[in-house]
Every structure is written in structure tokens, then in C-alpha cells.
Amino acid sequence: MLLVDGKIAEGAAATAYGWVQSIREQKTITFVILMENREPLQLVIKDKRLARKVKVHASIMVKGRVAMTERAPRGYEIHVEEISVLNKPRKIPPFDIMAKEEPSIDVRLDYRPVDLRRPSSMAVFKIRARALQLFREYLVNNGFIEVNTPKIIATASEGGSALFPVMYYDRQAFLAQSPQLYKEELTMAFERVFEIGPIFRAEQSRTMKHLSEATSLDVEAAFLSNEEIMDLIEGMVKHVIKGLNSEPQLFAALKAKPPALPERFPRFTYSEIIEKLKGLGEDIAFGDDLTQKSLEEFGNMAGGFYFITEWPAKLKPFYIMPKENGLTSSFDLMYMGLELASGGQRIHDPVMLRKSIKEHGLPVSSFKFHITPYYYGMPPHGGFGLGVDRFIMVLTDRKNIREVVLYPRDLRRLVP
């Protein structure tokens, strides 16, 4: 908190609350960087006796006078006349927040709130917050309404695997893998909906890109074709990256910048990719899922953002609209070898939906409540789910998804 009498100008009286990030002592004066509302504020202390009260990590309140100077991060500093120590650290953290070398991710997570005081760690979450604002801005400007759907559910939406069971009073329920069924149903009344919320996946593997609890940006719109949905996600990604490019100060502590944007994200069909990989000598056939190795191989060739379209029906969930030759109106958005989003056009005909549920080996009875509204005039619709955490990895050039999630949950980690 910063309180200034009048406006910020030479000699104005100021009071600031914050925590001490760093102390630099010179012969006669001490410079302190006070983090005030996540931004550095330079303090100048001329009285050595006052300066001795200040310790890194302490919460303090200072009173003093504003001095305008180009040499301070904000273009001004506070010449301190009075200091109150509101709380001082009782222990020294296991890492120096201003050190050049990064502590290990496990130590960082064990001490997460302290880790967040490291400039690069804080930068990641400021970028994340800004990106979420820009996603919302784009979608609201394009006629979408934000919704919240239940996270305790009775039926799997993405098939039977990777579910977390929970006791729901005397019955079994599950944590939602995706808001898929709800967002589709909601297009009936709202036409265009989106949700930013948690998805739960009981992932059995420990990788750099999977979490048990991830954040998904789910979008669903009536009356859009598969191509138009790809245009929408491409427009949204460009809006976010352009917005962030206009705020380079957000990236200063990261030594990274948002990825480059091509004029248009290339669109490759699944079949084209299979042929290309075969040409490279890979042992792969139509109908096989693309392995991480294949995706990386192709991703390195494609470079940056691209779509993989028209997946075989057997590799996609029951709600995806089939096309001729066992293909579907579907896509994945990729960045190099990393899958960022998947989506497509959906089945809107209740009879066809029922048949598809059956064909995917799922119990139709469990989907009764979902199929019912389809008999009352469900509009043709489509959408996508974008992994927010993975997208932030790409924006901030972090290699481990745990770096971009405040309190990650994975196979091993349930605390803090």
C-alpha cells in the first residue's frame, strides 16, 4: 500500500507498506527495494540507525518524502524519515530470492509462498493473470458468456479412464474431468459459453506436462463449423499474445518473450502427418495415436503453433462429429510437440449421440440426463478445451508445468 499526500511529485509526503526484497548498503546511504503491491519501490535511508532496522523479507511501514529520479525503477524513490517493522523473518529461507541460480523445483514448491517472492517466479504468475484477463476479454467481446459448472459429477465425460472417485454422502461420485457435457448443453440457451476452471485427471505418469488438477479454458459455441472454431481459437491466442507483447515489462525478470505469431496457424490433417512420419521412416499406420516422439518430430518441422485436424473417430471421444472414412470434424492445437487444446464439431442429433456413446463402449444409461435435452432442439455446436497451464508454459518458456501452477497436484504431490 502506498499513500501519497497529493500527487507523486518532488517533496510529497508518502507512507508505504511492503516487504523488503533487497538491501544495498553504501558508505553513507542504504538503498532498499521495498515490494509494494508486487512492484519495486526504491527507498533511500540516510540514517544508519534506521537502516539497521531493515532486514530482507521483513514487512515494514515507512514514512518519508518523494524524490523524482530516473535511476529508480518507478522514476521516483522515497527518502525515508521513519520506519516501523511490522513483522520480521524468524528463519532464513533455504534459498536467496535474488540469487541467479534457481533452486530445485521441489524445494521451490515446498516453500511456494517464499518462492513467489523470487522475481522470475512472480513474473510467471503476473503473466498468467494477465493472460486470463485477455482470454476473457476476447471471448466476451465475441459474444460469449462465462459460466460455472459442477466439479462433482456422476458420469465421466471423456470415457471411463483417469477419474478420481469421491464419496458423495452414501454414493460414489467423481471429480469432473472436463465441463464437456455441461458446456454443450448450455449452448441450447446461451449460444456461446466459456468456463475457466479445474479439471481433474488421475494421470498415472509423472511428466513435465501432466497434472492431476489442471486449469482448462472451455469454450463452446452454437452454429460454428470446425473451421470457424479453429479460426476462433487462433484469434484468441493471437489476441492474448499481442496483448502480452504490448507489456514487455511483464517479461523482464524471465529473460523470455511470448512466442512468435505466424500470419496463420498451419492446418495439417492427421492423415498428412502419418504420411510425413512414414516418409521419415517411422513405423506408424493410419489409426495409431501420435506418440510424444512423433509429435516432437513433426512439431520441430512445423515450428510454433499449428493444428492437427480430422482425427480418426476411434482416437476421439463419443461427442465428436464423425465424417466420412472413419474421420471426424476435430482438431488439436499444438505448439511444437505440445498439445495445447483439442476440440471440434459435436454431434447434436440425439439418436446419433446415443449410438456414438454405445459404439464407444460407454453405458447409455449413465448419459440419460445428458441425452434428454438433445430431443428438445439442440443447436449444431462445437468448441474446444485449452490447457491453460500448458499455454502459460509456452508463453513463459518454462519446461515444467509445475512452474506455472501455484500449488501443483501430481502423482506424488498433494501438499502444500
- Residues in contact with ligand AMO by CB under 6 A are 158, 178, 180, 201, 203, 210-211, 214, 216, 218, 339-343, 383-385, 387, 389-390
Which DSSP letter does residue 35 get? E
Instruction: Provide CB contacts within 8 A for 113, sequence distance 6+.
Output: none
Kindly state the smallest distance separating residue 343's Cβ from ligand AMO, in Å. 4
Identity of the residue, 254 or 341, whose beta carbon is nearer to ligand AMO in the bound complex: 341
**Beta carbons of 308 and 268 less than 8 angstroms apart:** yes
Identity of the residue, 41 or 175, whose beta carbon is nearer to ligand AMO in the bound complex: 175
Which DSSP letter does residue 360 get? T
Identity of the residue, 21 or 330, whose beta carbon is nearer to ligand AMO in the bound complex: 330
Kindly state the smallest distance separating residue 296's Cβ from ligand AMO, in Å. 16
Spatial distance between the Cα atoms of 403 and 359, rounded to a whole number of angstroms = 40
Angle in degrees, 0-180, between the axes of helices 226-245 and 388-396, rounded to the nearest 10: 40
Query: What is residue 195's three-state secondary structure?
Result: strand
Q: Nine-digit cell at 133?
A: 484477463
Identity of the residue, 162 or 371, whose beta carbon is nearer to ligand AMO in the bound complex: 162
Picking from 243, 197, 244, 241, the residue whose alpha carbon sits closest to that of residue 219 is: 197
Kindly state the smallest distance separating residue 405's Cβ from ligand AMO, in Å. 9
Identity of the residue, 58 or 163, whose beta carbon is nearer to ligand AMO in the bound complex: 163
Q: How many residues does the chain have?
A: 416
With cell 509462498, the residue in question is: 113
Identity of the residue, 36 or 158, whose beta carbon is nearer to ligand AMO in the bound complex: 158
Q: Nine-digit cell at 276?
A: 510425413
User: What is the distance of C-alpha 54 from the center of its chain?
Assistant: 36
Identity of the residue, 219 or 277, whose beta carbon is nearer to ligand AMO in the bound complex: 219
Reported as type and span, the H/E element at residue 149 is none
Kindly state the smallest distance separating residue 371's Cβ from ligand AMO, in Å. 17
**Beta carbons of 396 and 404 less than 8 angstroms apart:** yes
Identity of the residue, 18 or 387, whose beta carbon is nearer to ligand AMO in the bound complex: 387
Kindly state the smallest distance separating residue 330's Cβ from ligand AMO, in Å. 8
Kindly state the smallest distance separating residue 190's Cβ from ligand AMO, in Å. 16
Identity of the residue, 253 or 362, whose beta carbon is nearer to ligand AMO in the bound complex: 362
Kindly state the smallest distance separating residue 317's Cβ from ligand AMO, in Å. 7
Instruction: Provide CB contacts within 8 A for 132, sequence distance 6+.
Output: 196, 388
Q: Please, which contacts does 105-112 make with residues 24 or more away whose CB atoms are closer than 8 Å?
A: 105/400, 105/402, 105/403, 109/402, 109/407, 109/408, 109/413, 109/416, 110/416, 112/406, 112/407, 112/416
Spatial distance between the Cα atoms of 215 and 405, rounded to a whole number of angstroms = 9
Q: Report which residue's Cβ sits closest to ligand AMO.
A: 387
Kindly state the smallest distance separating residue 344's Cβ from ligand AMO, in Å. 6
With cell 512466442, the residue in question is: 259
**Beta carbons of 1 and 36 less than 8 angstroms apart:** yes
Identity of the residue, 77 or 195, whose beta carbon is nearer to ligand AMO in the bound complex: 195
Kindly state the smallest distance separating residue 278's Cβ from ligand AMO, in Å. 25
| Rg from Cα positions in the chain | 26
